């Protein structure tokens, strides 16, 4: 079956997806990604292929398309499973962020079409930034266009709760469960108190934030230690 794709590589329908980083053909946190997909599929009424079918297709794609660093994308919709694996260029430099000027309602499910999120990235880049911080109707910080946030405020690493309108990201979960990151609402009035920060996502893993607007953040020893700890808990594992 030929699947028609949009300009971002997503099927021209609606569904859920997982984006997974690979190293030398080995995916990172595949089990966590599949658990999230299963949860979303059950809640949204999407029927997934059986586990063995997914595993076989994954093995075939990863063995035939090996990259030093790759982006594996799994898209699921009713009667559809689309798998792609492309080379991914590591993000080396710290990120510069601004604020998106309008309230954005987040989702607990990773859904496509994803055009609206790419439009947010374009908006930030048009203004000379890499990504934008989003906030909800309560003026609480939520996430960025394509990443969760981990911020150092008053000496404590914190991340916004899912109830603020945050995607339950895989790396976010690892940071909370394994690396001591606390969960609490973060009001935009606290922005001047942010000392350091990271964008955390499946591709970035943990990318330091250099600037929020014109406010420079520290990339100190505590930042490097947390980054190393997060990365240590996210090692690639072979499929099969």
Q: What is the pLDDT of residues 21-79, one digit of tens each?
A: 999 999 999 999 999 999 999 999 999 999 999 999 999 999 999 899 999 999 999 98
pTM greater than 0.95 (yes/no): yes
- For residue 81, the enclosing domain spans 15-87
Count of domains forming the chain: 2
- Looking at the structure, tell me whether residues 116 and 227 fall in a common domain: yes
Q: Are the C-beta atoms of 150 and 181 separated by less than 8 Å?
A: yes
| CA–CA dist 236, 240 (Å, integer) | 13
- Looking at the structure, tell me whether residues 76 and 144 fall in a common domain: no
- Gyration radius of the chain over CA positions: 18
Q: What is the pLDDT of residues 92-103, one digit of tens each?
A: 899 999 999 999
- Tell me the residue ranges of DSSP E strands in 3-130: 15-23, 26-27, 69-77, 80-87, 95-99, 111-112
Query: Residue 169 burial by CB count (10 A; 0-12/13-18/19+): exposed, middle or buried?
Result: buried
Nearest partner of 38 among 86, 114, 117, 110, judged by Cα: 110
Structure tokens at 136: 């909800």
- Looking at the structure, tell me whether residues 37 and 144 fall in a common domain: no
Looking up residue 156, the CATH number of its domain turns out to be 3.20.10.10
């Amino acid at each position: 079956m030929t699947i028609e794709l949009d300009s971002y590589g997503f099927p021209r329908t609606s569904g859920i997806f997982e984006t997974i980083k690979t190293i030398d053909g080995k995916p990172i946190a595949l089990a966590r990604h599949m658990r999230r997909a299963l949860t979303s599929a059950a809640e949204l009424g999407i029927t997934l292929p059986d586990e063995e079918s997914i595993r076989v297709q994954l093995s075939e794609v990863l063995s035939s398309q090996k990259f030093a660093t790759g982006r594996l994308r799994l898209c699921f919709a009713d009667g559809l499973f689309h798998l792609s694996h492309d080379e991914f260029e590591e993000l080396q430099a710290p990120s510069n962020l601004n604020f998106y000027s309008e309230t954005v309602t987040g989702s607990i499910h990773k859904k496509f079409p994803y055009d609206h999120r790419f439009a947010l990235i374009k908006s930030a880049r048009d203004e000379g930034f890499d990504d934008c911080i989003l906030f909800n109707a309560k003026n609480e910080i939520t996430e960025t266009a394509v990443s969760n946030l981990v911020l150092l405020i008053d000496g404590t690493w914190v991340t916004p709760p899912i109830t603020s309108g945050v995607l339950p990201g895989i790396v976010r979960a690892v940071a909370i469960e394994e690396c001591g990151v606390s969960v609490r609402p973060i009001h935009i009035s606290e922005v001047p108190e942010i000392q350091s920060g990271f964008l955390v996502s499946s591709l970035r893993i943990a990318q330091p934030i250099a600037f929020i607007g014109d406010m420079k953040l520290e990339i100190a020893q505590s930042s490097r230690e947390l980054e190393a700890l997060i990365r240590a808990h996210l090692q690639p594992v072979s499929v099969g």
